[in-house]
Amino acid sequence: MVIKLINAKHEDIGIILQMQKEAFAELYAKYQDTETSPATEKYEDILFRFNQPETTYYFITADNINVGVIRIVDCKDGITRKRISPIFIMPEYRNKGYAQQAIKEAERIHGEHLWKLDTILQERGNCYLYDKLGYHQTGKTEQINDRMTIVFYEKN
Residue 82 CA to residue 1 CA, distance in Å, equals: 26
Q: What confidence score (pLDDT) does residue 48 get?
A: 98
Domains delineated in the chain: 3-116 (3.40.630.30)
Residue 6 CA to residue 145 CA, distance in Å, equals: 35
Q: What confidence score (pLDDT) does residue 11 get?
A: 98
Q: What confidence score (pLDDT) does residue 40 get?
A: 98
Q: Is 130 buried (19+), middle (13-18) or exposed (0-12) by CB count in 10 A?
A: buried
Report mean pLDDT in 10-residue bins for the chain, 156 residues.
94 98 98 96 98 98 97 97 98 97 98 97 98 98 97 97
Q: What confidence score (pLDDT) does residue 122 get?
A: 98
